[in-house]
Amino acid sequence: MRTQVRGWRWRGNPLRRRSDVVEAWTVLIVAVLLFVVAPLAGVAAGLHAHDQARTIAAAERAERHRVRAVVLGSTSAHRPTVGDREHPYRAQIRWTEPGRGTHTGTARVPAGSRAGDVVTVWFDARNRSVAPPPDDVAIWQHTVTVGVCAAGGAAAAVLLGHAVERRIAQRHRMAEWEREWARTGPKWTQPRT
């Protein structure tokens, strides 16, 4: 039956080596880095990404404008489909802006739009069709993604560093054992008379 002694690396005993103490401290440091520092790095990166995404979204909302337009017809012979689902496609549209009159042009319209349907499209300052600015959901998705990736990257770096440290410690431990055996081995291997 095996018994396990907890904390043996921390207590003073004649079998404890210097490498055991270093390993005990390393495990403690790795635990703190994994459970405190990595999540904090993820939160910090996520908050920074959130601020940047909100700034970009606000700038895009300021330079883009939304119009209600009537779909005149598709510019391509067929609508793009993947499997059974249709995807947004470019279509000929007509819209009216107050004080500027009626315009026609091409823009990306939602899947399933037919001629005569009224759709919402976004244009930039030069009246080019653009994607809508990111909404709050897209900003939060970006925030969470960046935060999780930063925390995961920090945890991976900590674990990689710990693996390297363990490999180096194992080499030192083996060298230490070799030196000890070179000193005590001849006493055990000499024939007794």
pLDDT for 13-47, tens place per residue?
Answer: 666 777 777 888 899 999 999 999 999 999 999 99
Q: Determine the Cα–Cα distance for residues 19 and 26; give it in Å rounded to an integer.
A: 10
**Range from 24-33, 136-145, 174-183 carrying the lowest mean pLDDT:** 174-183
Give which of 131, 90, 133, 96 is closest to 109, Cα–Cα: 90
Classify 150 in phi/psi space as left (phi over 0), alpha (psi -120 to 50) or beta. Answer: alpha
pLDDT for 65-82, tens place per residue?
Answer: 888 889 887 755 555 555
Q: What is the pLDDT of residue 9?
A: 53
Q: What is the pLDDT of residue 84?
A: 47
Residue 66: CB atoms within 10 A of its CB come to 12
Residue ranges of E strands in 14-117: 65-74, 81-82, 85-86, 89-97, 101-109
Task: Classify residue 114 by its DSSP letter.
Answer: -
